[in-house]
Structure 1
Amino acid sequence: MTLSTFVQSGKQLEAELIAFRRDLHRFPELSLQESETAAKVAEQLKQLGLEFRAGVGGFSIVAELKGEQPGPVIALRADMDALPIHEQSGLEFASTRPGMMHACGHDAHTAILLGAAKLLAAVKIKGTVRFLFQAAEEINAGAKAMIAQGALEGVDEIYGLHNLPTLPAGMTATRCGSLMGSVDRIEIHLEGRGGHGAIPNQSIDPVVCASAIVMALQSIVSREMSPFDPVVVTIGSIKSGEANNVIPHYAEMTGTIRTFDAKVQQQMPERIERIVKQIAEAYQCKAKLHYIEQTPVLVNHDECVSHVEQVIDRMIGTERRVVADPTLAGEDFSVYLQHVPGCFFWLGSGPAVDASSAYGLHHPKYELNEECIPLGASLLAAIALQRLSAD
């Protein structure tokens, strides 16, 4: 099989891969619960005759296709977990599990990687392709767990993709350098002194303190950061009290911090702690901050991006590749890229007409244009093949 025939070969797998994806979509599993999904993938790998190791970092699977001649080890990765979202798409194959949905398209990613394995199993290669079917991406845990259990040992390069419903199916988007933001979590615990809501002078109100902290944290972005350094500080939850006429004793907040530069990410814990502690002191509250670093900035390697772009251009044409806009959404593929060179790119999964109006990732009405599945499989397979072609 030559590179030029990969798209056609992928189309021949279309019905099979879509059926597999729809089965996963009907029965989604949350992070660290992907046992049925992993079992279905394992069965497919057995039928292909590939060696694989299951139960890596939870329910992740590492499979290998080895060529007859020595050569590089190229890793391809897909994530498998769903989200705690109640599906409202109305699709015939919608989730049968209340409160769970493949609202990010990881079911399609799994089918795409499986398709790439099927395509590569039919050609001669030098070296090895390692297929990483990863669990727990949505909680930023899967990549770290896989690396800890040796998933990247001996790997020379790694490649992956993510569907994008606001980009038409048939299109791709690539970017050198930083593509996606870092992801950190903050947890803030405030202790005041509870009391009667009608007698505030006898209490120390943690709700007022929490309100001041929320507003003050925004000054990091507006007054401490360069306008050319993208940063987001979002408080996503505030919990305090039970009654309307009671000043509570405690208040708790959680939030997310996103940056687009590793140096900026390293500076954020000090900035957050300074504001939280000093604002709390001003309001006579005690504050505890738990700053959790989750994933780094996703930084593509230029040489690997160039390789991906050359494959895309040769397979489907330069006109079907655009420059990806940067985003502060996070992806734990970034962790792999801290260890080995690689490239992560977008695969269009939206409607051909006016994809910008499509429901985005993590929306309960999110839909994936399944035309992207065979193309994604063909592209991943070709990306690996070009690094491993036997003469």
Structure 2
Amino acid sequence: MNPIHEDGQKLLASAERLADSLVAFRRDLHAEPELSLDERETSRKVAEQLTGLGLEVRTGVGGYGVTAGLHGSGPAPVIALRADMDALPVLPFASRRPGVMHACGHDAHTAILLGAARLLTERRERLNGSVRFLFQAAEEINAGAKAMIVDGALDGVAEIYGLHNLPTLSAGKIATRAGALMGSVDRIEIDIEGKGGHGAIPDQCIDPIVAASAIVLSLQTAVSRELSPFAPAVVTVGSLQAGEANNVIPHRARLTGTVRTFAPEVQSGMPERLERLVMRIAEGHRCRAELRYIPQTPVLVNHDDCLVHVESAMDRLLGREQRVQAEPTMAGEDFSVYLQRVPGCLFWLGSGPETGAEQAFGLHHPRFTLNEACLPVGAAALAAIALERLAAGQA
């Protein structure tokens, strides 16, 4: 067991003194959640907090994104720390906005990064370089990171770091993983055209529902029979819409779904595989089909050097016993878009019950809850990563 570093103890103590204000800010956002591309008030509140710290604040970055710069002794390197701000269209568990909820904990991420900004501002003299805080909009629709980059959020950045809360991991712990941590995310839309008519005389029709059903089943063979068992992938059809009457064969059917992979080479091959299956199966059922394959985010692959830095910084901050190995997941995160452009690392921050006795509802669940004890831990973690990277001059 590694002893907690003395500086880590002091940083954690400082973060704990911010706990009440972090909780209050997080609860304010939780009560007034805003969907992707509509984070107007969230953005305003964040900018107000950052301006109060005396930072160089820029709003309207990639939509409602906000960036802020903290300059130490020297213009470079620049370390970026990122949080996402948007909510989900989920039946609210604790929200004043009908049908909208922070069911993924982005309200906590925002409060945590504001806490890190306060901790680092108080320690500006220890920064041999600069920190850029990225408050990103539209992560849930896989659009925010790309828009932030287009608006210059990564210009001059040497490395980027971020975290995501995990309610199935106890608060006070973190989880890291070398290499691929989260899956790629792509969207598929399939339109199938047949010939509508009376349900009692199918011989005079061309049934797109039958074709759609065959396509749904056959898409699974793109994974089970065309990929190695050691190359995980998921093809899920989440919606099938066709017809409105029980005795009518409709003219069209539409399917939408998601494709997840865990290796860039597997992701790049999926469009051809799926188009071949869709077109040929539709043709076999005398239908016409169109597949729109929409790439969204790549596989999230942490950079080795940055991962090593995060792990050593966390061991000094929290103690080695508080760090566990993360399990791979097909859930996606558009932080992966940043990692395609600059080195960096994303890690999991435990946000679940500390005892393990309480039931933990997962991310995106309508009864998702967050153990607010994770807020000061997350703030200290992000601050420690920037402090040690810049103090060491290794970026």
Q: Same fold (TM over 0.5)?
A: yes
Distance in 1 (alpha carbons) for counterparts of 2:357 and 2:76: 41
Q: Deviations over 1:168-194 (max 9, x none)?
A: 001100011000000000000000000
Alignment counterpart, residue 166 of structure 1, candidates 153, 165, 168: 168
Q: How does 1:183-194 map to 2 (within 5 A)?
A: 183-194=185-196
Aligned partners of 1:34 and 1:363: how far apart in 2? 21
- Post-superposition shift, 1:3? 3.9
How far apart, CA to CA, are the structure 2 residues paired with 1:13 and 1:352? 20
How far off its partner does 1:46 sit? 1.1
**Corresponding residue number in structure 1 for 2:320:** 318
Q: Which amino acid aligns with 1:103?
A: A
AA partner of residue 285 (structure 2) = Y
How far apart, CA to CA, are the structure 1 residues paired with 2:197 and 2:28? 54
Q: What letter matches 2:46 in structure 1?
A: V
SS at match of 1:241: coil
Query: Which of residues 254, 257, 266 is equivalent to 2:256?
Result: 254
Offset of residue 356 of structure 1:
8.5
8 A Cα contact 1:168 1:352, kept in partner: yes
Check whether the contact 2:74–2:130 (CA below 8 A) recurs between aligned residues: no
Q: In the aligned structure 1, how far is the partner of 2:187 from the partner of 2:327?
A: 24
Query: Which residue in 2 is equivalent to 1:41?
Result: 46
2:345 is matched with which residue?
343
The equivalent of 1:25 in structure 2 is: 30
Q: In structure 2, give the amino acid aligned to 1:131.
A: F
Matches within 5 A, 1:1-391: 2-88=7-93, 94-123=94-123, 124=125, 125-354=127-356, 357-389=359-391
Task: Tell me the secondary structure at the aligned position of residue 276 of structure 2.
Answer: helix
Q: Percent identity?
A: 67
Q: CA deviation at 1:352?
A: 1.2
The CA deviation string for residues 76-112 of structure 1, in whole angstroms up to 9 with x for no partner, is 0000000000123xxxxx2001100000000000000
| CA distance in 1 between partners of 2:72 and 2:12 (Å) | 22
Task: Give TM-score, length-normalised by structure 2.
Answer: 0.96
- In structure 2, C-alpha distance between the alignment counterparts of 1:240 and 1:355, rounded to whole Å: 45
SS in 2 for 1:152: coil
Contact 1:165 1:355 in 2 (8 A): no
Number of equivalences: 386
Query: Following the alignment from structure 1 to structure 2, what is the Cα–Cα distance between the partners of residues 332 and 180?
Result: 10
Post-superposition shift, 1:71? 2.9
- 2:338 aligns to what SS in structure 1? helix
Amino acid at match of 2:102: H
Give, as a single letter, the amino acid of the residue that structure 1 aligns with 2:120: L
Residue 126 of structure 1 deviates from its aligned partner by 1.4
TM-score by length of 1: 0.97
**Root mean square deviation of aligned Cα:** 1.2
Q: Return the letter of the residue paired with 2:104.
A: C
Where 2:283 maps in the other structure, the secondary structure is helix
Q: Work out the CA distance in 2 between the residues paired with 1:49 and 1:70.
A: 17
- CA deviation vs aligned residue, 1:321-372 (integer Å, no higher than 9, x gap): 0010000000000000000000000000000122784100000000000000
Residue type of the alignment partner of 2:364: H
3-state secondary structure, aligned to 1:71: coil
* Partner residue, 1:91: none
In the alignment, the residues of structure 1 paired with residue 197 and residue 322 of structure 2 have an alpha-carbon distance, to the nearest angstrom, of 63
**Code of the aligned partner of 1:86:** L
Greater CA deviation, 200-209 or 66-75?
A: 66-75
